[in-house]
Amino acid sequence: MRTIDVTDAAWGTLLALQEGLADLEGGADPVTRVYGPIAGAKGPFVIAQVGQSLDGRIATPTGDARDVSGPDGLAHLHRCRALVDAVIVGVTTVTSDDPRLSVRIVEGRSPVRVVIDCRGDLSGGEGMFHDGGAPVIVFQSATAPPRTFGQAEVIRLKEDTCGLCTGAILQALADRGLQRVLVEGGAKTIARFIEAGHVDRLHVSVSPIIIGSGPSGINFSPIEFLSEARRPLTEVYSLGSDILFDCDLRSNPVLGRQGEQVSVANPT
């Protein structure tokens, strides 16, 4: 198993690559293979990230998600944030965890923060609206009660029977110059972006703890046979405290539901 060891020099090159000030060279080393596709993306690129336990849990049944990922798993998440233009979460992630979604552990700029709040469940008191951090965009249904959230931009989309269209969300972000996107949570939000065929890479960071019960990292629609399961090309790396599964979702088309339009519902 190869180890990801991100030196200051290597990280500086990735940040320069993100800004178009450097070129990818080689690509065989683990750091370049994992982070290069994000930093070097020339057009739309979507990555989903999950940090979970050995038994696939992201929190206890009471919702305690603190320290599920080890220190190196958290550093990996912050690197992903630093290399994208926007980070997406569902409303339940915000109301449950009140995340900052900022880059704090590594050098780099924080991405635009995007919340999918289909039916207008946000109160406006959530921390991200008042912390003076990166801009916030809220996606809501056109039928949700209209309201403002400080300086946040509210984008209202037509809702279908399942919620907000993932493609319409990504297009609205691209129209604002936000093409490299991290889908960070929750489990249903990640699943729906993947099921819609909109995710290029899936990173699953596994920490050596066993929780035993609680919510899982991704909630896909049920399948009947294992032949319908997704089997992407996957490389495995040691982050140090955690193990990273880097899944190339473009290497194998989504089976069973290929081409079907999938929407994001609320709650996540």
Q: Domain containing 58: what range? A: 2-264
| DSSP state letters, the chain | -EE----HHHHHHHHHHHTTSS------SHHHHHHHHHHT-SS-EEEEEEEEETTSBSS-TT---TTSS-HHHHHHHHHHHHHSSEEEEEHHHHHHH-------SSSSPPPEEEEE-TT----S-SGGGTS--S-EEEEEETTSPP---TT-EEEEE---SSSEEHHHHHHHHHHTT--EEEEEE-HHHHHHHHHTT--SEEEEEEES----SS-BS--PPP-SSGGGS---EEEEEE-SSSEEEEEETTSSPPSSSTT---EE-S--
| Number of domains observed in the structure of the chain | 1
Q: Quote the pLDDT of residue 160.
A: 80
Residues 99-145: tens digit of each pLDDT? 999 999 999 999 999 999 999 999 999 999 999 999 999 999 999 99
Residues 54-103: tens digit of each pLDDT? 999 999 998 888 889 999 999 999 999 999 999 999 999 999 899 999 99
What CATH code is carried by the domain that includes residue 173?
A: 3.40.430.10
User: Is the pTM higher than 0.85?
Assistant: yes
Residues 205-219: tens digit of each pLDDT? 999 999 999 999 999
